[in-house]
Amino acid sequence: MNRYIRKTGNTLIQFSYLFGKSRPQLQRATNSKDIPDNGTPAEAYIAPVYKDRSGIVTIISDDGHFSTGKMIDFLSNKYDMPFTIGGAVINVAWHEAWWEKTITHNSRMELVNHSYNHIRMENGSDIAASTKRLTHELIHSKRYFEKRFGAEQICFVCPENRMCSKGYELLRQSGILAVRQGTRGYNDLSPDQGEEPGEWYNLKTMGIMDQTGPDARETRKKWLEDAVKEKKWLIEMWHNISDEEDGGYQTILREDAEKHLAEIKELSDNGQLWAAKFTEAVKYIVERQHCSVIAVNCNDELHLSLAVRSDGIDTSVFDHPLTVMIRDYGKKIEGLDGPVFKDGSAWYMAELLPGESKALFIS
């Protein structure tokens, strides 16, 4: 990994290439003055899931059709539910003013890149041999979404659930860190780098209409229960949502969608499952993979710091708070939630951004 370092005041700035990316990435190394060197280490760790939930569920609706976007806007507000829309430019551009307004006002929704023209890109196809055509489908579309909707694109949803080798190369070079394809199954809470099913460039999914008939609702409910029980990241692939059958690929009836969303909300409200947009989940997991927590007790204060490891992340992009669990030693830590009890011990819960430090009073 290439990297270079410079110092500004008391802060060490280290640039590195994250995951083999071609552009420099910013890492703020922990200022040694933030942590006393005469304190007593405290037991603390970064929770695998935000707010120490057991599992994650992410809903991705493919294609970006206007009618489905309007339905998702309504349902996300009704159920306070995060949704990711994998939008193809060819679909989104027709109604981009509506999408801009909706994404701006509804923070539960996000748009991520699903290519320009929704063309199947797999090894052996005509487009797989054309860098020019692949650049248009993968890079020009990324620029479109970043220009029109502001947020940097770090996730990609493959059209037709396929990607060729040259396409992977372009995605890496452009800064994409996570790719959802179509292999069925659950993902670990800390995926490995690679293109095998379940790895960062080939995240697995469950098709919302893979099963139809009287048992379909129970099957979907079991997905959620399994994500909690097995501590997994469930990504659900949705397409259209309709009040009646429309003959489209994997269209889910609104009645069934609402039933499932109510089940997700129940598991979220009771603290078992984190319902997260695709980008949120990716940020949290990548941050946790690149950070270490330092906790020290000193003079009735608990000093916490999230140190970014030497392989680095861009803290201007990776801005999701991480949940830090601190063991309870019989004294109250001011300003923190808890204690909560798990595995026979009591723990306090704090939130810190990568590179952030805090000093909390102990009473």
Domain-by-domain residue ranges, the chain? Answer: 3-50+289-361, 54-270
Beta strands in 51-168 (DSSP E): 55-63, 83-87, 109-113, 155-157
What Å distances lie between residue 123 and 127, 165, 357, CA to CA?
9, 7, 47
Distance separating alpha carbons of residues 156 and 278, to the nearest angstrom: 9
3-state secondary structure of 9: coil
Rounded to the nearest 5°, which phi and psi values hold at 218? Answer: -65, -35
Q: For 132-178, what is each residue's pLDDT tens digit?
A: 999 999 999 999 999 999 889 999 999 999 999 999 999 999 999 99
- Best CA proximity match to 280, nearest among 235, 311, 240: 235
**Surface-to-core class of residue 192, CB atoms within 10 Å of its CB (0-12 exposed, 13-18 middle, 19+ buried):** exposed
CB atoms within 10 A of CB 265: 16
Q: For 223-270, what is each residue's pLDDT tens digit?
A: 999 999 999 999 999 999 988 877 678 789 999 999 999 999 999 999
Q: Token digits for 237? A: 């692939």
Distance separating alpha carbons of residues 110 and 279, to the nearest angstrom: 8
Beta strands in 19-170 (DSSP E): 25-28, 40-41, 44-46, 55-63, 83-87, 109-113, 155-157
Q: What is the DSSP letter of 151?
A: S
Provide the percentage of residues in the chain whose pLDDT is more than 90.
Answer: 73
Name the packing angle between helices 66-78 and 254-269 (round to 10°): 40
Distance separating alpha carbons of residues 148 and 67, to the nearest angstrom: 20
Query: Which superfamily is assigned to 54-270 in CATH?
Result: Glycoside hydrolase/deacetylase (3.20.20.370)
Asked if the model's pLDDT at residue 184 lies above 70, the reply is: yes
How much is the pTM? 0.89
Distance separating alpha carbons of residues 237 and 183, to the nearest angstrom: 11
pLDDT of residue 247: 67
Q: How far is CA 94 from the centre of its chain?
A: 27
Q: For 262-313, what is each residue's pLDDT tens digit?
A: 999 999 999 999 999 999 999 999 999 999 999 998 888 899 999 998 777 8
Give 39's pLDDT tier (boundaries 50, 70, 90).
Answer: confident
Give 81's pLDDT tier (boundaries 50, 70, 90).
Answer: very high
